[in-house]
Chain A
Amino acid sequence: MEILEGRNLRKTYKLSRKNTVEALKGVEISIGQGEMVAIMGPSGSGKSTLMHILGLLHAPDPNHGPAPELFLAGQNVAALSDNDRTKLRARRMGFVFQDFNLVPTLTAIENVLLACDYAGIKGGAAKTAALEALGLVGLADRANHKPSELSGGEQQRVAIARALVNKPEIILADEPTGNLDSERSAEVLALLRQFNREHGQTIVLVTHDSEVGEACDRIIRMRDGRIRDHGLQASARALGGQPVAASA
C-alpha cells in the first residue's frame, strides 16, 4: 500500500520580478507504507522542494496542464488550505532537520511536548508520551536540559523524539546527519532504521551522503527538478529491511 503518491508535482519560486526558479518540473513519486527512502541529488536538483511538498510545508503549484495530485494514505491533499495542511503536519507527520531546529529557550522535554500540544495531546498523556519518546532515543535522563547543554548528536535525537512523539505515519528528515560526525551520523541513522523496522515507520530522508543513502531501502535520484531514477521499489518488510541496491 502506498502511503504517499504524487503526480504532476511542480513548483516555481519567484525570487524577484524577473527571476524565477523552476524547482520541480513535474514529478511523479510513490512511497510505500513502511518504506525507508532516501532522496538524493546535487544541490538545486529539487530534492528539498520535493520534500517540502511531500511534508505539506508547501503546496504544489496549481498547474496549467494536468492538476497536481498528492495522496496521503489515499486522501488527495494537493489543494488543501494552509490551515488543513498545518493540521496534517501536526498529527500525521514528523520532521527532522539538518540543524536540529529545537526551540532554544525550551528544555528537551518541552520541545517534545510542543509537538504533542500542536497535535492536540495535552496534560498527563502528553507528558507520558514525551518521556517515552525521549526514552526511545536514549535521552530520558536529559529531559530537563536546554538544547545548548546538549551535544549535536543529542540535539538531533531530541528532534527525532519530537518527530516521533505523535506516532506519525511519515517521518521526513532533511539532511538529518548533515551536521554530525560519522559516529553520530551512524547513531542517528541506526535510530531511524530501528523505528522503521520495529514500528513500521515510513521514513523519507533527503541526503547528500551516499552512505546514508545506501542504508535506506531505496534511493530516489533527482536532477534538474525531475526524478531520474526511482530506485528498485521492494517491500522493505519482505526483505527483512535489507538495503536494496539501486545503482544509477
Chain B
Amino acid sequence: MRLLRDLGRRKLRSFLTITGIAIGIMALVVFGSMANKMNALINGGSKYYADKDVVSIGSMFSGNFQPLSLSDVEKIKLVDGVAVATPAIDMLLDDSTTATMGTPEMISGSIAGGDQGLENFKVYAASGRLLTKDDTGNQVVLGSDLARKMNASVGSTVTLRSTQFQVVGILEPTLTAPDKSAMVPLGAAQQLFLKTLPPMLQNAVNVNELATSIIVYPNKGVSPETLKTRLEAALGKSYTVMDGKDFDAMLGSISTIFSLVLTGVAMLSLLVGGLSTINTMAMSVAERTREIGIKRAIGASRWRIRREVVLESAAIGLMAGLIGLAIGAVMTTVFNDLGRPSGNVLFDLTLGTALTAVVFATGLGAVAGFVPAWHASRLDPVTALRYE
C-alpha cells in the first residue's frame, strides 16, 4: 500500500511511464496474438503434409503449375510403396486474390473416400455432412470462416466462380487452411478448373482427366521421404514431389520472420520502456534523497532501500503490463470481430501470450529499477539528510 501511495504522489510521471510501457506491451500482445494465429495455420499445414507426398507439375505455391492427368495417377500407383494415390484439384476461390494474411480462400476438389481411410488430418461437419461418393453434382462443404463470410447455412445456395453450389455441410473450425476452403466433388472442380485454362488448352484437354495435384499415401513402413525419392525417379524431372519436410522448410521461413518481428517489438518496448522507467525511478530517488537518508539513519539497510526502489519499479511494470494486456485484448477482439465477416480472423490471444506480456513488463520494471536502486542504496545517510 505504501508503495502505491509513493507512485500516487507522482501521478503524472508515473502515468506517462506506465503509458509508455503499456503501449509496448500492447504491441507485444497484438503481434504475439498474430503470431499465434500464424503458427496455428502453419502447424495445421505441417500436420497435413507430414504423412504423405503431394505430386504436381510446377509448384502450387509458386503459381506456374500445369494440370496433371488422371493417367499420372495410374503411373504413380505402380510405384513400389504406394498405398493410395488420389487426384485433387486446388484452385483459388477468386483469381483476384492477392497476398493475404494467412491462407487464401480455396476451392478444393477431391474424390470422397479417395484416401481409403489413410488421411490423418480429419475434418468434421459442424452442421450438415461431409461429401460422399453419391455427391456427383454441384454440392459443397464450406469451411467455417468461409461459411460465415458467405453467410451460408446448410441447404442454402452459394456461387463459386459464377457456378451455383448447394451447401450440404459446414466444417468445424480447424484454425488452419480448411476454414477458408470450399470442398467440392472432383467432377465439379474439374469443370471450374477447365474455365481457368486458356481457350486453346480448353479444347485440347479431357475435362474428366484433369487434376492439379495427386495425393500419395505411402504403405505402412515406407516413409514419405523414401517414397518421394522413388516417385521422383519414376515420374521424371518435370514433376514436383513435396513431402512434409519440404512444406516445413518452405513455411518455416514465414514463421521465422514472424518471430523476428515479435522479437523486434519486444526489444523496442524493452528499450523505450526500460529507459523511461530508469528515468522515472532515478527522478523518484533524487526527490526522495532526504527520505532515504532518514530511513538509512534509523536503520534501513542498503538492501532494504534497494528492495524498496526495485519493488516500486516492478509495480510500475506490472501495472503497465496489465494495462497493455487489457488494451491489446480489446484490440485483438475488435479486429477479429471486424474481420470475421470477411473471413479475416488474424489474432489468437492465448493465455501463454497474456502471461508472457505481463511477466515481461514486470521483469522489465524490476530490472530498470536496479540502477536507481543501487544509486539510492549508496547514498551517505548524513549527506542525504542534509539534502534540500
Contact = CB atoms under 8 A, between A and B. Distances in A.
Interface in A146-192: 162-163
Given A52-B382, A110-B2, A83 B301 contact: yes
A103 B302 contact: no
Contacts of B385: 97, 101
B291 A103 contact: yes
Nearest to A52: B382
A58 interface: yes
Given A103-B294, A103-B295, A118 B5 contact: no
In this complex, the member of B296, B297, B299 whose beta carbon has the largest number of chain A beta carbons within 10 angstroms is: B299
B304 interface: yes
Contacts, number: 61
Contact of B297 (A57, A105, A106): A57
Q: Specify which of A57, A86, A163 lies most central, judged by the most chain B CB atoms within 10 Å of its CB.
A: A86
Nearest to B303: A83
Nearest to B290: A101
Contacts of B381: 57
B300 interface: yes
A87 B294 contact: no
Contact of B302 (A58, A82, A114): A82
A86 B382 contact: no
Nearest to B6: A105
Interface residues of B, number: 21
Contact of A104 (B291, B299, B380): B291
A90 B300 CA distance: 7
Interface string A53-82: 001011000000000000000000000001
Interface in B350-388: 380-382, 385
Contact of A90 (B291, B293, B299, B302): B299
B300 A86 contact: yes
A57 B385 CA distance: 11
A90 B299 CA distance: 4
B301 A119 contact: no
Nearest to B298: A115
Contacts of A58: 380, 382
Contacts of A101: 290, 293-294, 297, 385
A36 B274 CA distance: 52
Contacts of B304: 118
Contacts of A89: 297-299
Contacts of A163: 298
Contacts of B380: 58
Contact of B5 (A52, A55, A105, A114): A105
Interface string B289-329: 01101111111111010000000000000000000000000
B9 interface: yes
Interface of A: 52, 55, 57-58, 82-83, 86-87, 89-91, 93-95, 97, 101-106, 110, 114-115, 118-119, 162-163
20 contacts: A52-B382, A55-B297, A57-B297, A57-B382, A83-B302, A86-B301, A89-B298, A90-B299, A91-B299, A95-B297, A101-B290, A103-B295, A105-B2, A105-B6, A106-B2, A114-B298, A115-B298, A118-B295, A118-B298, A162-B298
Interface of B: 2, 5-6, 9, 290-291, 293-302, 304, 380-382, 385
Given A95-B298, A114-B300, 8 more contacts: A52-B382, A83-B301, A86-B299, A97-B297, A101-B297, A105-B2, A105-B5, A115-B299
Shortest beta-carbon contacts, A-B, top 4: A90-B299, A118-B299, A89-B299, A101-B294
